[in-house]
């Protein structure tokens, strides 16, 4: 009884994930049998760099960061996963050890989808395959942007770029940006030290492009930010 109930809850949760929204309800229920819900506490590591993938994950609640480790703990955060998003699919398909580690930023609930569960479904439902293809393609595109930012742009350009992406709509000249996390987290995602990030913010403020108060950044002149990029 308890088992059936829990399995139903999982099926319900799975159905709400965009990836599975078009999958036959019966198939979702069948898959739910193999899916576990994990609770990951703040600071806990979900998988380490070097671990062997056995499936992929969907974040239900909380926040999970994917990052490169480094000897002195000066990790570089690649991405912050938010509820509803999946992660680890590509590494599952490859079957190679994780090149990154994942850690909960706050207490989180995660679905663990084992490889068999999904590969079985893939054989039946080509639409799911297309959706996964689309999902992974988005990731790939983000990585390309990240790499471009990293190799073609200065620190100020990367910050300006981030502020532009946060614009409510293209063309707005003035708007507020609420940073999604502590400044050192944002800095790490931009591949900057917290010190450099702080200094860049200072310079942009001096030139009248933005105003900073805590985690809220008021963009005063979007056009000016755009010009920085060239």
Partner DNA sequence: CGCTAACTTGACAAATGTCAAAACATGTGG
Partner DNA sequence: CCACATGTTTTGACATTTGTCAAGTTAGCG
* Contacting positions for a second copy (CB under 8 A): 68, 70-71, 76, 78, 89-91, 93-94, 96, 99-100, 119, 122-126, 129-130, 132-134, 136-141, 143-148, 150-152, 191, 230
SS3 for 148-200 is HHHHHCCHHHHHHHHHHHCCCCCCCCCEEEECCCCHHHHHHHCCCCHHHHHHH
Is 42 a binding residue for DNA by CB under 7 A? The answer is no
Q: Does 212 bind DNA (CB under 7 A)?
A: yes
Helix %, strand %, coil % for the chain, to 5? 45, 25, 30
Part in contact with DNA (CB under 7 A); list of ranges 11-19, 44-52, 170-178, 187-195? 187-195
182 sits near DNA (criterion: CB under 7 A): yes
Whichever of 171 and 214 has its CB closer to DNA, that residue is: 214
Say which residue the tokens 């770029």 belong to. Answer: 161
Contact between 214 and DNA per CB under 7 A: yes
Task: Look up residue 121 and give its DSSP letter.
Answer: H
Among 91, 200, 191, 178, residue whose Cα is nearest residue 139: 91
Q: How far is the CB of 99 from DNA (least distance, A)?
A: 20
Written as six digits, the tokens of 146 are: 């990240």
Q: How far apart are CA 209 and CA 220, in angstroms?
A: 5
DSSP code of 23?
Answer: S
Is 83 a residue that touches DNA (CB under 7 A)?
no
Cα torsion angle, 63, 89, 57, 44, sign? negative
The least distance separating DNA from the CB of residue 98, rounded to whole angstroms, comes to 24
Among 127, 141, 202, 227, binds DNA (CB under 7 A): 202
Is residue 195 part of the contact set for DNA (CB under 7 A)? yes
Instruction: Tell which one of 57, 197, 219, 225 touches DNA (CB under 7 A).
Output: 197
C-beta of 11 vs 156, nearer to DNA: 156
Residues that bind DNA (CB under 7 A): 74, 154-156, 182-184, 191-199, 201-202, 212, 214-215
């Amino acid at each position: 009884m308890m088992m059936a109930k829990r399995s139903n809850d999982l099926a319900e949760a799975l159905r709400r994930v965009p990836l599975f929204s078009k999958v036959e309800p019966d198939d979702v229920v069948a898959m739910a049998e193999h899916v576990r819900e994990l609770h990951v506490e703040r600071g806990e590591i979900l998988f380490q760099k070097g671990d062997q993938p056995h499936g992929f994950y969907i974040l239900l609640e909380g926040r999970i960061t994917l990052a490169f480790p480094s000897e002195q703990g000066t990790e570089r955060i690649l991405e912050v996963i938010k509820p509803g998003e999946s992660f680890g699919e590509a590494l599952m398909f490859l079957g190679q050890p994780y090149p990154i580690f994942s850690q909960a930023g706050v207490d989180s609930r995660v679905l663990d989808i084992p490889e068999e569960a999904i590969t079985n479904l893939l054989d039946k439902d080509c639409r799911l395959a297309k959706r996964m293809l689309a999902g992974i393609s988005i990731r790939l595109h983000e990585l390309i942007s990240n790499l471009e930012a990293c190799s073609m742009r200065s620190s100020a350009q990367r910050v300006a770029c981030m502020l532009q992406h946060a614009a409510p709509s293209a063309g707005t000249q003035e708007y507020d940006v609420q940073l999604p996390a502590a400044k050192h987290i944002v800095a790490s995602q931009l591949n900057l030290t917290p010190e450099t990030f702080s200094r860049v913010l200072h310079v942009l403020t001096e030139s009248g492009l933005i105003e900073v108060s805590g985690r809220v950044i008021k963009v005063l002149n979007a056009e000016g930010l755009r010009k920085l990029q060239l």
